Amino acid sequence: MRRLRCLSPFKHSGHLLVVPAVLGVYGLMHPWLWVLALVLTVRLAFFDWRLAAAVIVVVSLGVWRFHAPNVLPKGTKHEGEVLFVQGERAFPRMGVATEGVRLLVFHEEAAKFVPGDRAVVYGDAVEAEFSGFFDDFDYQRHLRGEGIHGVVYADAIDKVEGEFSLYSLRGSVFTYVQRNFGESRKYVEAFVLAERGSFDEATIASISQAGLMHLFAVSGLHVSLLALAVYKAMRLLTKNPLVLEVAVACFLAAFLFLTGFSPSVLRASFLAVFLLANKRFGWGFSPVDALSYLALFLLAFSPFSAFHAGYQLSFSVSFSILLSRRYLSKRNPVAQSFAVSLIAFLTSLPVVLSMQYGVNLLTVFFNVLYVWFFVAVFLPATYILFLLPFLEPLFLALSGVFEASLDWLDRFEGFRVSLYIPRGLWTLAYFVLLYGFLVRLTTGKEWLQSFFVLGLFVMVVAFSAYLAPYQEVTMFAVHGDAFLVRDAHHRCNILIDAGESDRRESLANALSRMNIRHLDYVFITHKHYDHYGGYESVANRFPIGHTVTNRDIASYEGREIACGELKFILFPLEHPHAGENDRSLVIRMAIGGETYLFTGDIETPREQTLLELGRSLEADVLKVPHHGSLTSSTLPFLEAVSASDAMVSAHWNSRFNHPHPSVMERYEALGIDLHRIDEEGSVRFRYLFHRRFKKTAFE
């Protein structure tokens, strides 16, 4: 009893603890949040010093764990057990546990393995690469949140015989699924084994666009349904509450193992066990307390979970629904379903937008329909199919209805709104307003006004580009060239080159994060893939006024063109150069009171003819020709430009080892400040009141 009295300050205080703790851990990304976390912690100390001490302990443990060295296995040969397989992706991959760490292994033959196999992987283990884009998805932290320590781009992988282990049992279940199921296998693996690796990327994208991905992430909904089924089944055998609770707890432990200790299943299972124990032993903690302390535990011992979308979505949505339970309890089942869907939609909005850069406004209605369909029909049918494989023809008919409905949802693409809520202060402000709305919704006081303010805030964010009073130039960390020039108040947006394409559509996503609505001009300086490869993904997402290449500049070259407050001129091709690089567009542009010279990939012959033409080349900022290669940036050309700054678009993984050191030394000898992708990531110059402010992605 004494120990329980010691815990009394923590009862009904979980929601007070979790906010400063989360802010403290997120302060690892946004240091200014530490100030807010400290203020809230001091405030907690006035209630009870033990609450403040708990926050300090959680944050301290989280920071210590966050900064613990990530030691990867050395050598080029790694042997271990296969944890999961994602074989239907564009780049097949699998997880391997070896030498006390987990590695994500990319190889085209990954699909030949099943969890529980023992594999030998040949290749170097490295940390996942940073993207180098502003406010981009942090793949490294995402993997650490899933317990993955490093990546291997394998030269070869072999299957070897291994000793029996618990993973072998899980592998046997996967083998059972592969042998007994055809087209339905992907659903069985998704809902029974928490593995979506058998879904192709097009289907995953379609499910995501409809806002239904949460139904395919095995979590609270699925665990609750299964636990309820086990409880009801055991009730047929015994009415003893203790036996029933132990049976449910044992089932959850087995399901955890079956799903490979998936983070979402781990959260849902621990929460269920805590609530059972809370009720059994009369601890007196509320559901909000249980959720809070589970969130705090994960923050303390697995701080990278805080950067994982699954952690953010599951806890934030659960908290919001629990905060609104008084309002929800007074509604009929239909109204309650729509209210829960709306609350979940609003709570998950910043996280969803960070992954999809848009949302379908009908998602609230879709979710109501699909949640009922999944709970009442699809999930039970999947679990029954797992036990009775001969029912697969019936299940395929049911899954066919679901897939046809996804095609039907695609017709509502017109209700999709492009939007991104920037991380940091914007996201914090959104959640403060959302919290105010939920509180007023629960109390019934002026909740409509609060909802209006929240909607107005989202509108301001969506059209923030129109409110921006500054001009700016951004050099994106693509392979190749990609520069965006923006006029104030969204009057003009000019994209110069589009870099190489990549499967993540990094450039298009970067533009979406800036809430760009249109591009007035896109200049493709020349026909090399590292300058035009990303154009298609950009054109599919944004309306473009004019696309100009070096093949169709007759109506543009040699005259000054105004776009908003921006003015630029395309230099004529002075000589019919044979090389494609020397046929690059050369653009001189006035931005923020300074002059820029964009040079594409011109080399020595083109630099010479530009000098011979006698046209003024002077500029304040020079885009370094041809990524700083030895074939360009001649001394006479640099002296004619007489720039004070130079932007070097050479990626740190350049296949051609750009930029060349001797060329960079030439710039430094002239006293030119270098701004390099390979050292700083994306670089942004922002102009306000004719003053330049610099920001880099690696700051």
Mind giving me the DSSP string for 307-354? G-HHHHHHHHHHHHHHHTHHHHHTS-HHHHHHHHHHHHHHHHHHHHHH
Q: Which of 161, 180, 199 is the last residue of a domain?
A: 180
**128 in Cβ contact with 109 (< 8 Å):** no
Q: How many domains does the chain have?
A: 5
pLDDT at 5: 58
Pairing of strands 93-98, 125-126: unpaired
- How far apart CA 414 and CA 410 sit, in angstroms, is 9
Q: Does residue 425 form part of some domain?
A: no
Length of the chain: 699
Cα end-to-end span (Å), the chain: 52
Claim to verify: residue 494 and residue 576 sit in the same structural domain: yes
Pick 651 or 84 by higher pLDDT. 651
**411 in Cβ contact with 404 (< 8 Å):** no
Name residues whose C-beta falls within 8 Å of residue 441's C-beta, 6 or more positions apart in sequence.
Answer: 324, 327, 447, 450, 451
Q: Is 165 helix (H, G, I), strand (E, B) or coil?
A: coil
pTM: 0.88
Give the position of tokens 């990546």: 151
Q: Does residue 254 form part of some domain?
A: yes
Claim to verify: residue 282 and residue 238 sit in the same structural domain: yes
Tokens standing for 302?
């697995």
**377 in Cβ contact with 398 (< 8 Å):** yes
Claim to verify: residue 480 and residue 623 sit in the same structural domain: yes
- How far apart CA 231 and CA 255 sit, in angstroms, is 14
**What region does 558 belong to: left with phi over 0, alpha with psi -120 to 50, or beta?**
left
Confidence of residue 7 (pLDDT cuts 50, 70, 90): low
Q: Does residue 47 form part of some domain?
A: yes
Q: At what angle do helices 425-443 and 333-356 cross, to 10 degrees?
A: 180
15-52 confidence digits (pLDDT tens): 888 889 988 888 887 788 888 899 999 988 888 888 89
Q: Is the pLDDT of residue 624 over 70?
A: yes
The secondary structure of residue 519, as a DSSP letter, is E
**368 in Cβ contact with 338 (< 8 Å):** yes
Name residues whose C-beta falls within 8 Å of residue 355's C-beta, 6 or more positions apart in sequence.
Answer: 137, 208, 309
pLDDT at 518: 95
Write out the residue range of the structural domain in which residue 442 sits: 430-462
CA dihedral 116, 120, 125, 127 (to 10 degrees): -20
Q: Does residue 360 form part of some domain?
A: yes
Q: Is the pLDDT of residue 338 over 70?
A: yes
**34 in Cβ contact with 27 (< 8 Å):** yes
Question: What is the share, in percent, of the chain residues with pLDDT greater than 90?
Answer: 46
544-594 confidence digits (pLDDT tens): 999 999 988 888 888 899 999 999 999 988 888 889 999 999 999 999 999
Q: What is the DSSP string of 538-578?
A: HHHHS-EEEEEETTS-TTTBTSEEEETTEEEEEPP--S--S
Q: Which of 360, 386, 420 is the last residue of a domain?
A: 420
The secondary structure of residue 622, as a DSSP letter, is E
Sign of the torsion angle spanned by Cα atoms 10, 12, 14, 16: negative
Claim to verify: residue 503 and residue 487 sit in the same structural domain: yes
pLDDT at 198: 76
Q: Which of 160, 180, 200 is the last residue of a domain?
A: 180
Q: Does residue 185 form part of some domain?
A: no
**256 in Cβ contact with 264 (< 8 Å):** no
Closest CA to 530 of 380, 402, 656: 656
What radius of gyration, in Å, describes the C-alpha atoms of the chain? 28
Claim to verify: residue 399 and residue 472 sit in the same structural domain: no
Give the range among 312-326, 422-436, 488-502, 668-682 with minimum mean pLDDT. Answer: 312-326
Claim to verify: residue 214 and residue 326 sit in the same structural domain: yes
Claim to verify: residue 588 and residue 659 sit in the same structural domain: yes
Residue 688: give its domain's CATH number.
Answer: 3.60.15.10
CA dihedral 665, 667, 669, 675 (to 10 degrees): -90
- How far apart CA 221 and CA 272 sit, in angstroms, is 12
Q: Does residue 473 form part of some domain?
A: yes
**What region does 194 belong to: left with phi over 0, alpha with psi -120 to 50, or beta?**
left
Q: Is the pLDDT of residue 3 over 70?
A: no
Give the position of tokens 């939609």: 345
**What region does 147 belong to: left with phi over 0, alpha with psi -120 to 50, or beta?**
left
> Which residues share a beta bridge with 570?
557, 587
346-381 confidence digits (pLDDT tens): 999 998 898 889 888 888 888 888 888 888 899 899
Q: Does residue 72 form part of some domain?
A: no
Claim to verify: residue 583 and residue 496 sit in the same structural domain: yes
pLDDT at 1: 44
Tokens standing for 577?
């150069």
pLDDT at 4: 55
**363 in Cβ contact with 413 (< 8 Å):** no
Claim to verify: residue 171 and residue 241 sit in the same structural domain: no
- How far apart CA 101 and CA 106 sit, in angstroms, is 16
Q: Does residue 230 form part of some domain?
A: yes
pLDDT at 2: 47
398-423 confidence digits (pLDDT tens): 999 988 888 887 777 778 888 999 98
- The mean pLDDT of the chain is 89
pLDDT at 169: 77
Give the position of tokens 């590695």: 103
**314 in Cβ contact with 326 (< 8 Å):** no
pLDDT at 259: 81
Claim to verify: residue 360 and residue 492 sit in the same structural domain: no
Closest CA to 645 of 621, 680, 628: 621
Closest CA to 290 of 300, 304, 276: 276
Claim to verify: residue 136 and residue 91 sit in the same structural domain: yes
Confidence of residue 663 (pLDDT cuts 50, 70, 90): very high
- How far apart CA 395 and CA 388 sit, in angstroms, is 11
- How far apart CA 96 and CA 113 sit, in angstroms, is 11
- How far apart CA 538 and CA 471 sit, in angstroms, is 21
Claim to verify: residue 104 and residue 132 sit in the same structural domain: yes
